[in-house]
Amino acid sequence: MLIGSKDLYLYALNAKTGAREWRNKLPDYEKYSGIYSSPAYADGAVFYAGKNGILYSASVKSGGRNWAVRFESAVYSSPVIKDGTLYISSYNRTLYSIDAKTGKIQWRKNLGNNLAYATPSVTSDKLYMGFKSGHLKVFNRKDGTETADYKFPDEINSTAAIGANGFIYVGCDDGGLYAVDTKSGAVAWKYMTEGSLQSSPAVLDKAVYIGSEDGSIYAFEAR
Protein backbone atom coordinates (compact mmCIF):
# COMPACT_ATOMS: atom_id res chain seq x y z
CA MET A 1 0.00 0.00 0.00
CA LEU A 2 1.35 3.42 -1.02
CA ILE A 3 0.20 6.75 0.40
CA GLY A 4 1.50 10.31 0.39
CA SER A 5 1.21 12.74 3.30
CA LYS A 6 1.43 16.45 4.09
CA ASP A 7 4.31 15.54 6.43
CA LEU A 8 6.50 15.37 3.25
CA TYR A 9 6.73 11.56 3.15
CA LEU A 10 5.55 8.88 0.74
CA TYR A 11 4.89 5.73 2.78
CA ALA A 12 4.96 2.10 1.66
CA LEU A 13 2.92 -0.06 4.05
CA ASN A 14 2.40 -3.80 4.21
CA ALA A 15 -1.20 -4.32 3.09
CA LYS A 16 -1.74 -7.25 5.48
CA THR A 17 -0.16 -5.89 8.65
CA GLY A 18 0.05 -2.13 8.15
CA ALA A 19 3.76 -2.23 9.00
CA ARG A 20 5.90 0.43 7.34
CA GLU A 21 8.32 -1.02 4.79
CA TRP A 22 9.94 2.26 3.73
CA ARG A 23 9.30 5.97 3.40
CA ASN A 24 10.68 8.71 1.15
CA LYS A 25 10.89 12.35 2.15
CA LEU A 26 10.45 15.21 -0.28
CA PRO A 27 13.57 17.40 -0.30
CA ASP A 28 11.78 20.66 0.44
CA TYR A 29 10.73 22.91 3.29
CA GLU A 30 7.83 21.59 5.35
CA LYS A 31 6.06 24.94 5.22
CA TYR A 32 5.78 24.86 1.44
CA SER A 33 5.56 21.19 0.53
CA GLY A 34 3.77 17.91 1.15
CA ILE A 35 2.03 15.32 -1.03
CA TYR A 36 -1.59 16.17 -1.80
CA SER A 37 -2.29 13.57 -4.50
CA SER A 38 -2.36 9.79 -4.88
CA PRO A 39 0.60 7.84 -6.32
CA ALA A 40 0.39 5.68 -9.44
CA TYR A 41 1.95 2.22 -9.83
CA ALA A 42 3.16 0.23 -12.84
CA ASP A 43 5.87 -2.34 -13.61
CA GLY A 44 7.54 -2.27 -10.21
CA ALA A 45 7.68 1.52 -9.98
CA VAL A 46 5.68 4.09 -8.01
CA PHE A 47 5.11 7.59 -9.38
CA TYR A 48 4.26 10.49 -7.08
CA ALA A 49 4.41 14.28 -7.05
CA GLY A 50 4.39 16.94 -4.37
CA LYS A 51 3.67 20.57 -3.77
CA ASN A 52 7.38 21.11 -4.41
CA GLY A 53 6.60 20.67 -8.13
CA ILE A 54 8.64 17.50 -8.68
CA LEU A 55 7.40 14.19 -10.11
CA TYR A 56 9.34 11.17 -8.85
CA SER A 57 9.70 7.56 -9.97
CA ALA A 58 10.90 5.09 -7.33
CA SER A 59 11.24 1.34 -6.84
CA VAL A 60 8.15 -0.01 -5.11
CA LYS A 61 10.30 -2.59 -3.29
CA SER A 62 12.97 -0.34 -1.83
CA GLY A 63 11.88 3.24 -2.43
CA GLY A 64 15.11 3.85 -4.35
CA ARG A 65 14.71 6.68 -6.83
CA ASN A 66 14.67 5.99 -10.58
CA TRP A 67 14.30 9.57 -11.81
CA ALA A 68 12.79 12.94 -10.99
CA VAL A 69 11.44 15.72 -13.22
CA ARG A 70 10.81 19.26 -12.02
CA PHE A 71 7.79 21.26 -13.16
CA GLU A 72 7.36 25.01 -12.98
CA SER A 73 4.80 24.94 -10.15
CA ALA A 74 3.16 22.80 -7.46
CA VAL A 75 1.29 19.57 -8.25
CA TYR A 76 -2.08 18.71 -6.68
CA SER A 77 -3.36 16.37 -9.40
CA SER A 78 -2.55 12.65 -9.25
CA PRO A 79 -0.53 11.01 -12.03
CA VAL A 80 -2.15 8.33 -14.19
CA ILE A 81 -0.30 5.81 -16.36
CA LYS A 82 -1.27 3.91 -19.49
CA ASP A 83 0.89 1.99 -21.98
CA GLY A 84 4.12 3.24 -20.43
CA THR A 85 3.15 6.91 -20.45
CA LEU A 86 2.34 9.13 -17.46
CA TYR A 87 -0.15 12.00 -17.62
CA ILE A 88 -0.29 14.71 -14.97
CA SER A 89 -1.19 18.39 -14.64
CA SER A 90 0.49 21.10 -12.57
CA TYR A 91 -0.81 24.18 -10.77
CA ASN A 92 0.49 26.49 -13.51
CA ARG A 93 -2.21 25.04 -15.79
CA THR A 94 -0.05 22.68 -17.84
CA LEU A 95 -0.80 19.08 -18.82
CA TYR A 96 2.20 16.78 -19.32
CA SER A 97 2.85 13.50 -21.11
CA ILE A 98 5.93 11.75 -19.68
CA ASP A 99 7.79 8.55 -20.54
CA ALA A 100 7.42 6.37 -17.43
CA LYS A 101 10.80 4.64 -17.87
CA THR A 102 12.99 7.68 -18.42
CA GLY A 103 11.05 10.68 -17.09
CA LYS A 104 11.39 12.44 -20.45
CA ILE A 105 8.63 14.94 -21.21
CA GLN A 106 7.02 13.87 -24.49
CA TRP A 107 4.69 16.85 -24.81
CA ARG A 108 3.14 19.59 -22.71
CA LYS A 109 -0.16 21.40 -23.19
CA ASN A 110 -0.92 24.90 -21.93
CA LEU A 111 -4.42 24.80 -20.43
CA GLY A 112 -5.05 28.54 -20.46
CA ASN A 113 -7.17 29.64 -17.50
CA ASN A 114 -8.29 26.09 -16.68
CA LEU A 115 -7.02 24.88 -13.30
CA ALA A 116 -7.35 21.17 -12.48
CA TYR A 117 -7.19 19.23 -9.24
CA ALA A 118 -8.70 16.17 -10.92
CA THR A 119 -6.72 13.34 -12.48
CA PRO A 120 -7.03 12.74 -16.24
CA SER A 121 -9.17 9.76 -17.28
CA VAL A 122 -7.48 7.76 -20.03
CA THR A 123 -8.80 5.65 -22.91
CA SER A 124 -6.89 4.05 -25.77
CA ASP A 125 -6.57 7.36 -27.62
CA LYS A 126 -8.00 10.16 -25.46
CA LEU A 127 -7.64 12.00 -22.15
CA TYR A 128 -10.70 13.40 -20.35
CA MET A 129 -10.06 16.05 -17.72
CA GLY A 130 -12.35 18.18 -15.56
CA PHE A 131 -11.50 21.72 -14.45
CA LYS A 132 -12.51 24.20 -11.78
CA SER A 133 -13.85 26.36 -14.61
CA GLY A 134 -16.63 23.79 -15.10
CA HIS A 135 -15.22 22.48 -18.36
CA LEU A 136 -14.53 18.84 -19.19
CA LYS A 137 -11.97 18.83 -21.98
CA VAL A 138 -10.86 15.99 -24.23
CA PHE A 139 -7.29 15.70 -25.50
CA ASN A 140 -5.51 13.48 -28.00
CA ARG A 141 -3.11 11.18 -26.14
CA LYS A 142 -0.44 11.37 -28.83
CA ASP A 143 0.16 15.11 -28.89
CA GLY A 144 -2.22 16.82 -26.43
CA THR A 145 -4.41 18.39 -29.10
CA GLU A 146 -7.80 19.42 -27.69
CA THR A 147 -10.59 17.58 -29.51
CA ALA A 148 -13.75 18.40 -27.51
CA ASP A 149 -15.02 20.63 -24.70
CA TYR A 150 -18.11 20.11 -22.51
CA LYS A 151 -19.39 22.87 -20.20
CA PHE A 152 -21.05 22.13 -16.85
CA PRO A 153 -22.88 24.43 -14.40
CA ASP A 154 -20.20 24.43 -11.68
CA GLU A 155 -16.66 23.37 -10.78
CA ILE A 156 -15.39 19.85 -11.52
CA ASN A 157 -12.97 18.79 -8.78
CA SER A 158 -13.22 15.02 -9.12
CA THR A 159 -12.01 12.57 -11.74
CA ALA A 160 -14.49 11.52 -14.41
CA ALA A 161 -15.28 7.81 -14.79
CA ILE A 162 -15.26 6.14 -18.19
CA GLY A 163 -18.07 3.67 -18.84
CA ALA A 164 -19.09 1.45 -21.72
CA ASN A 165 -20.56 2.47 -25.07
CA GLY A 166 -18.88 5.87 -25.14
CA PHE A 167 -20.34 7.17 -21.87
CA ILE A 168 -18.42 9.20 -19.30
CA TYR A 169 -19.71 10.12 -15.83
CA VAL A 170 -18.91 13.51 -14.32
CA GLY A 171 -19.49 14.70 -10.75
CA CYS A 172 -20.06 18.45 -10.42
CA ASP A 173 -19.99 20.90 -7.51
CA ASP A 174 -23.65 21.74 -8.18
CA GLY A 175 -24.48 18.28 -6.78
CA GLY A 176 -25.21 16.72 -10.15
CA LEU A 177 -23.91 13.47 -11.58
CA TYR A 178 -23.93 13.81 -15.37
CA ALA A 179 -23.81 10.96 -17.89
CA VAL A 180 -22.34 12.27 -21.14
CA ASP A 181 -22.63 10.42 -24.44
CA THR A 182 -19.26 11.27 -25.99
CA LYS A 183 -20.44 10.13 -29.43
CA SER A 184 -23.09 12.85 -29.62
CA GLY A 185 -21.76 15.26 -26.98
CA ALA A 186 -25.16 15.32 -25.26
CA VAL A 187 -25.97 14.78 -21.58
CA ALA A 188 -27.92 11.51 -21.65
CA TRP A 189 -29.11 11.88 -18.06
CA LYS A 190 -28.30 13.61 -14.80
CA TYR A 191 -29.17 13.15 -11.15
CA MET A 192 -29.08 15.99 -8.63
CA THR A 193 -27.95 15.03 -5.13
CA GLU A 194 -28.41 17.36 -2.17
CA GLY A 195 -24.71 18.11 -1.72
CA SER A 196 -21.60 18.97 -3.70
CA LEU A 197 -19.84 16.11 -5.50
CA GLN A 198 -16.16 16.21 -4.54
CA SER A 199 -15.53 12.46 -4.68
CA SER A 200 -14.93 10.69 -7.98
CA PRO A 201 -17.53 8.38 -9.55
CA ALA A 202 -16.61 4.73 -10.08
CA VAL A 203 -18.00 2.27 -12.63
CA LEU A 204 -18.26 -1.42 -11.72
CA ASP A 205 -20.45 -4.26 -13.02
CA LYS A 206 -22.74 -2.05 -15.11
CA ALA A 207 -23.31 0.39 -12.25
CA VAL A 208 -21.87 3.81 -11.41
CA TYR A 209 -21.29 4.80 -7.77
CA ILE A 210 -20.61 8.19 -6.20
CA GLY A 211 -20.58 9.77 -2.76
CA SER A 212 -22.09 13.19 -2.08
CA GLU A 213 -21.52 15.81 0.60
CA ASP A 214 -25.17 15.23 1.56
CA GLY A 215 -23.82 12.16 3.41
CA SER A 216 -25.13 9.55 0.97
CA ILE A 217 -23.58 7.10 -1.48
CA TYR A 218 -25.54 6.63 -4.69
CA ALA A 219 -25.65 3.79 -7.22
CA PHE A 220 -27.08 4.12 -10.73
CA GLU A 221 -27.39 1.89 -13.75
CA ALA A 222 -24.42 2.69 -15.98
CA ARG A 223 -26.02 3.48 -19.33
- Whether 99 shows a pLDDT value over 80: the answer reads yes
- Whether 28 shows a pLDDT value over 80: the answer reads no
Please tell me the least confidently modeled range out of 24-28, 59-63, 136-140. Answer: 24-28
Alpha-carbon distances, residue 102 vs 1, 99, 197 (angstroms):
24, 6, 36
Q: Determine the residue type at 221.
A: E
Its sign, for the CA torsion 170, 171, 172, 176, is positive
- CATH number of the domain at 1-110, please? 2.40.128.630
Q: Where in the chain is the domain with CATH 2.40.128.630?
A: 1-110, 113-223
DSSP secondary structure letters along 65-112: EEEEEE-SS---SPPEEETTEEEEEETTTEEEEEETTT--EEEEEE-T
C-alpha span between 89 and 97 (Å, rounded) = 9
207-211 β-sheet, strand order: 202-204, 207-211, 217-221
Average confidence (pLDDT) over 102-114: 94
The string of pLDDT tens digits covering residues 152-209 is 999 999 999 999 888 999 999 999 999 999 888 899 999 999 999 999 999 998 899 9
C-alpha span between 213 and 177 (Å, rounded) = 13
Average confidence (pLDDT) over 74-95: 93
SS3 (DSSP) at 1: coil
pLDDT of residue 42: 95
- Whether 33 shows a pLDDT value over 90: the answer reads no
Q: How many residues does the chain have?
A: 223
Say what the alpha-carbon torsion angle 202, 4, 113, 186 is, to the nearest 10 degrees.
Answer: 0
Higher pLDDT, 154 or 36: 154
- Whether 30 shows a pLDDT value over 60: the answer reads no
- Whether 32 shows a pLDDT value over 70: the answer reads no
DSSP secondary structure letters along 25-70: E-SS-TTT----S--EEETTEEEEE-TTSEEEEEETTT--EEEEEE
Is the distance from CB of 71 to CB of 55 less than 8 angstroms? yes
Q: Percent of the chain, pLDDT > 90?
A: 78
Q: What is the mean pLDDT of the chain?
A: 92
Average confidence (pLDDT) over 45-74: 92
pTM assigned to the model: 0.90
pLDDT of residue 29: 58
Res. 45 pLDDT band, cuts 50 70 90: very high
pLDDT of residue 173: 96
Is the distance from CB of 59 to CB of 48 less than 8 angstroms? no
CATH class given for the domain over 113-223? mainly beta
Is the distance from CB of 56 to CB of 73 less than 8 angstroms? no
- Whether 31 shows a pLDDT value over 60: the answer reads no
